[in-house]
Amino acid sequence: MKKVTAFILFFMMAFSLCACGKDESPAEKNSIPDSKTLLTNIWNTYTEDEKFSIIGGDFTEANNQVDTPGKFNITDVNALDSSLAFPVTSISEIDDAASMIHMMNGNTFTCGAFRMKGNNHADMLAADISQNIRNRQWVCGFPDKYVVAVIEPYMVAMFGNEALIDTFKNKMISVYPDVKILYDEFIG
């Protein structure tokens, strides 16, 4: 009887070690299949009174969305830079993107989510995005502040009106508590 009990305990311990050893990727851990889902999960926490008119995605017929985040085609690097302030030189660091932009003026609120191919360079990518936002020549308004954050394996960058940015940042933190805010700065 002691041998049977010891045998059962041995297999239970071995099984539990195997189960604990499974290493989930950050995307699996956060259950975020793509950048659009990440932004949609945050946007869906807004009440109707908090929401504002947005367009999502790039401006192609396939990806253009109204009042919801949309997929952004990363092969158009110039549009990625001009619309979302994602640096052209860093395009090799991502494989997916989505956006949501205030319908009246992108400088009022613009947010992009980017799935990183590897999180080894997250700090460098965040610094490149931060510099690209700060060095922009603003037309038709001037955003108050910007935020760059990491929700592994995603980078989220936004700029615009302080109240809108702070609301989105707070909702992002409530949806994804493991978010790391790398930049939260005023522009100017």
The one-digit pLDDT tens for each residue of the chain (188 residues) are 555 444 444 444 444 444 444 444 444 445 899 999 999 999 999 999 999 999 999 988 888 999 999 999 999 999 999 999 999 999 999 999 999 999 999 999 999 999 999 767 899 999 999 999 999 988 777 899 999 999 999 999 999 999 999 999 999 999 999 999 999 999 97
d(CA 46, CA 55): 16
Residue 141: how many other CB atoms lie within 10 Å: 13
Contacts of 4 by beta carbon, 8 Å cutoff, 6+ apart:
none
Residue 11 has what pLDDT?
43
Residue 17 has what pLDDT?
44
Residue 21 has what pLDDT?
46
